[in-house]
A and B are shown apart, each in its own frame.
Chain A
């Protein structure tokens, strides 16, 4: 099927070339970081994780969110997702790869990365994270590729793939729970030390992931002949709506616990993020934009007419995705480090090289995503009818 990726329009090649340029810029900047050290980033002794680990955390969620498509389809036989199950699985693959790359670029001694395998340490959550992420990557490659392959031939999926399909469903939440455990088990980081972290991780992932899938489905429908289906897109939007509401609630639970208990250390990071602490306010604009986008996303996704009209739907999905990215990709990680263990505030803001490297990694992800989606949509265009005999191309 790979040959489908080699034939495409000028627009397809132009987009890939554009991504390659960004990858190149990111790679050259990374060489500088490799040579000089992580000192070229905005991270410091006090905020020792930043944009990279934030992106990693966010993207684990996007990867896990494939389950919001795969579960209704394989466990509940929700037929409308038959066409887009592979779209979800193929989103997980570049997401996991980006996660791995973000961990890699964050390492101070990247050439020693295999020490994690050489000295396996089961008491470290990082060790488990590596295992579940690699496993999830393999599962999605296998399931996505096999299911798409049989669709091309017009035959039913082989029996042996079923256990892997079910395993992938149970595996998906595990990758994000383990990622939450990276944070929520650390003493003395009050912003992270909360049992709701894992639940909030899952809910925000299942808001941002389906939102991204809505946007990707709309883009696919615009630029290819494959039609993911109006109803499938609407269901994705509803999933995003429910989980966005859950995320807002979980965050408010956290705010209640911190402020009703009135424990200063629990309040401090939240105060820092939303209104600044000791006169330091670098992240307050981020949180204000985040809160505004959450409100826009929630209103649109929850209100039926706004959700159904695809112009507002795309705005709502975009707002949801970006707001979850701001929350998890930036403020969650930085907020955990502020104030520092001495109750002093040292702020963080990514540097240009750091942002370029992150952009490079994102471009790698979109490059792979584009190729995978090109293959999937070409197969679907050629097959014309979906598994249930309905036309899956635009008429």
Chain B
């Protein structure tokens, strides 16, 4: 949690305490120790990783079937992503899509079939001007200062405006209770309930404790992450030296997942 947020919290806590004066019992319950413990609990962990603008770079040359499956499997396992057999109700955070469907308009009929049908990994693009955030009526989806487009599953009313707005099909809705479809629940990460929208979070919970995103970790170097705002970051060097493309960049959402060719 950043300084700003802590200040905001203290303000709200102070206001709450003021209100509490009117009901003495509440004032007794919230003591200074409680507040300090609360602040301590929400302090930024010491080894958290920071960036001005997180981004993902996927090297299509290094991707193979096994790496892709490992990435998907790791993401699903860590985030309790349900495996729903009915394609209508699928929940997907990161998945395989043919090149011609992931990059419509970039394919042509004389392209080698293996490129056209080459599976690539697709996920939320954590856009810099995300349409999903613009349309959300409750700020349940929002862009963090470090660029990650996040979800508050407890605030989402399930109106699915964000799904209509996202031009990348990156968002999934829980059409029914997803819990029976989770093979092995990871107790470290929350599960979701029916009626809310979810998507890739760029593993913000892992970045917070100094771990790379799950897909990056198991990708054997095919997926990289880093700070797009830092000209000396590894990903900036890659983008400066290799040719890269983005999905539907012409729509102006400024997607922050780059694909190296």
The proximity string for B residues 134-150 relative to A, scoring 1 for CB distances below 8 Å and 0 otherwise, is 11111110000000000
Interface residues of A in 335-351 (CB under 8 A from B): 336-337, 340-344, 346
Residue contact A108 to B161, C-beta cutoff 8 Å: no
From B26-34, B169-177, B203-211, B217-225, give the one contacting chain A. Answer: B169-177
Q: Which residues of A contact B165 (CB under 8 A)?
A: 186-187
The closest CB in chain A to the CB of B175 belongs to A39
- Minimal beta-carbon separation of A308 from chain B (angstroms): 44
From A120-128, A231-239, A284-292, A387-395, give the one contacting chain B. Answer: A120-128
- Minimal beta-carbon separation of A351 from chain B (angstroms): 11
**Residue B39 at the A interface, CB < 8 A?**
no
The proximity string for A residues 116-141 relative to B, scoring 1 for CB distances below 8 Å and 0 otherwise, is 10110101111100100000000000
Point out the residue from A46, A116, A341, A342 that lies within 8 Å of B157, measured CB to CB: A116
The proximity string for A residues 190-234 relative to B, scoring 1 for CB distances below 8 Å and 0 otherwise, is 000000000000000000000000000000000000000000000
Residue contact B161 to A109, C-beta cutoff 8 Å: no
Residue contact B169 to A340, C-beta cutoff 8 Å: yes
Central interface residue in A118, A125, A187, A265, by most chain B CB within 10 Å? A187
Residue contact B134 to A123, C-beta cutoff 8 Å: yes
The B contact surface, by secondary structure, is loop
Q: Which residues of A contact B177 (CB under 8 A)?
A: 37
Interface size class of B (residues with CB under 8 A): 35 or more
> With A119-B155, A188-B248 known to touch, is A49 a contact of B160 (CB < 8 Å)?
yes
Residue contact A187 to B253, C-beta cutoff 8 Å: yes
Residue contact A38 to B157, C-beta cutoff 8 Å: no
The closest CB in chain A to the CB of B92 belongs to A45
Residue contact A125 to B164, C-beta cutoff 8 Å: no
Q: Which residues of A contact B169 (CB under 8 A)?
A: 45-46, 340-342
CA of A127 to CA of B135, assembled, Å: 9
Residue contact A116 to B137, C-beta cutoff 8 Å: yes
**Residue A107 at the B interface, CB < 8 A?**
yes
Residue contact B163 to A108, C-beta cutoff 8 Å: no
From B15-23, B43-51, B57-65, B97-105, give the one contacting chain A. Answer: B97-105
Q: Which residues of B contact A112 (CB under 8 A)?
A: 138, 155-158
Q: Which residues of A contact B164 (CB under 8 A)?
A: 48-49, 183, 186, 189, 336-337
**Residue B10 at the A interface, CB < 8 A?**
no
Q: Which residues of A contact B214 (CB under 8 A)?
A: none
Residue contact A115 to B155, C-beta cutoff 8 Å: yes
> With A49-B160, A107-B159, A186-B164 known to touch, is A37 a contact of B134 (CB < 8 Å)?
no
Q: Which residues of B contact A113 (CB under 8 A)?
A: 157
Residue contact B175 to A43, C-beta cutoff 8 Å: yes
**Residue A327 at the B interface, CB < 8 A?**
no
Residue contact A108 to B138, C-beta cutoff 8 Å: no
Point out the residue from B140, B158, B174, B248 that lies within 8 Å of A107, measured CB to CB: B158
Apart from A121-B139, A344-B101, 6 more pairs, CB < 8 Å: A45-B92, A49-B164, A108-B158, A124-B134, A127-B137, A182-B161
Write the residues of chain A forming the contact surface with B, with a CB cutoff of 8 angstroms.
Answer: 36-39, 43-46, 48-49, 103, 106-110, 112-113, 115-116, 118-119, 121, 123-127, 130, 182-183, 186-189, 265, 336-337, 340-344, 346
